[in-house]
Amino acid sequence: MEYIFNTRLRGNIALTDSYHTNLALQKDNTLYKFIWVQSGSLQLEIDHVPTTLMKGEIIPLTPLHHIEFKAINGEYLTLLFNSNFYCIFGHDNEVSCNGFLFNGTSNVMQLKLSESQVASLRDITDSLTSEYAIKDNLQEEMLRILLKRFIILCTRIAREKFSVSPEREKAFDMVRQFYVLVDNHFKEKMMVQDHANMLHRSPKTLSNLFTTCGLPSPLRIIHERIEVEARRLLLYSQKSAKEITEILGFEDQATFSRFFKKNMGVTFSRYVNQLRLTHIYHDICNTQDGIMEIAEKHGFTNYKLFNRMFHEIYGCTPREIRGRQKQNG
């Protein structure tokens, strides 16, 4: 099943049960997504973080999130749309999902649906499916209305998860606005005071508010957003450490390295090497390429250093891993 609708102004909405096979949708870096497991389970890596979704679970993702499908043991639906079709910023006052369902952190909101919630969302996706077959000048607006209903329902489910009662709506909306500001300004505004000023609140007020809501501190949220962006640039671009430092707004590499080590527990260079070794291990197990060829492909030119670091992490040599693969194969 796959339904795709494109507007004249480059708006897109799609509903599919095989997103993992549609390369065009996967390569489109403008799409917001809901991934909803209908049966069985789904194993993903989101920004290189392993995530397992079970039947009746749904996650919202932004265009910033990078997804890899690791194992599909069931059925799932993906609802996708871009800002030209439905702008979550433009409809913020109506839907209030920006910064709540959708934000740039790696802490993806994983929602467990009740039977009644599953039925309500299924009614909407069934209506979307039916609407795709109706070719008239009202189709686009009807699809937009149904998408809006889907987003509102997911927002209500998320509010229920976080116990956002009518009395707490104003407080939680402040939290949501903080996430939006951090997403938009984390590269140039790294202090809580900066964001507090834009919200016309004191840092202390914000800190107390986040504690009341059971959330990490405002400073931790800013730092995590910077960490996530650093990892994304490292994983999914060809940027050097110097370029990443400049993009993220740090004065110099030394300042960035200190920040990275303090928050990630390892130096940036060691993190890079660990990441390279993860890819090397995968290639040793899944290709017939020579070990030195694989090492060089992933940035290691010093074979002695490569062997030593590989042994530190995996407790054996690359040749031993390759030997085990041959025995098991």
Tell me whether residue 311 is in a domain: yes
Q: Give 16's pLDDT tier (boundaries 50, 70, 90).
A: very high
Does position 20 have pLDDT exceeding 90, yes or no? yes
Does position 33 have pLDDT exceeding 80, yes or no? yes
Q: Is 209 in the same domain as 236?
A: yes
Nearest 5 degrees, angle CA 162-CA 66-CA 106?
35
Nearest alpha-carbon partner for 61 in 17, 110, 12, 22? 110
More confident residue, 48 or 133: 133
* C-alpha 6 chain-centroid distance: 24
- The pLDDT of residue 103: 74
User: Helix or strand or coil: residue 66?
Assistant: coil
Distances from the Cα of 8 to the Cα of 5, 77, 86, 140, angstroms: 10, 26, 14, 10
Compute the distance between CA of residue 111 and CA of residue 316 in angstroms, rounded to an integer. Answer: 40
Tell me whether residue 250 is in a domain: no
Compute the distance between CA of residue 38 and CA of residue 152 in angstroms, rounded to an integer. Answer: 20
Q: What are the backbone dihedrals phi and psi of residue 91, each rounded to the nearest 5 degrees, phi first?
A: -105, 25
Nearest alpha-carbon partner for 43 in 66, 79, 68? 68
Tell me whether residue 318 is in a domain: yes
> What are the tens digits of pLDDT across the range 75-113?
999 999 999 998 877 666 657 667 678 876 767 889 999
Q: Is 53 in the same domain as 201?
A: no
Q: Is 142 in the same domain as 193?
A: no
pTM attached to this predicted model: 0.78
Q: Is 20 in the same domain as 154?
A: yes
Residues of the chain above pLDDT 70, percent: 96
Does position 148 have pLDDT exceeding 90, yes or no? yes
Does position 240 have pLDDT exceeding 90, yes or no? no
Task: State the residue range of the domain holding 275.
Answer: 269-328
Compute the distance between CA of residue 161 and CA of residue 255 in angstroms, rounded to an integer. Answer: 38
More confident residue, 42 or 282: 42
Does position 118 have pLDDT exceeding 70, yes or no? yes
- The pLDDT of residue 106: 65
Domain-terminating residue out of 140, 161, 182:
161
More confident residue, 320 or 120: 120
Alpha-carbon Rg for the chain, nearest whole angstrom, is 22
Average pLDDT, the chain: 88
Which residues, at least 6 apart from 212, have a Cβ–Cβ distance to it below 8 Å?
A: 171
Q: Give 9's pLDDT tier (boundaries 50, 70, 90).
A: confident
Domain-terminating residue out of 243, 258, 292:
243
- The pLDDT of residue 114: 95
Tell me whether residue 254 is in a domain: no
- The pLDDT of residue 164: 75
More confident residue, 231 or 105: 231
- The pLDDT of residue 57: 97
Q: Is 110 in the same domain as 142?
A: yes
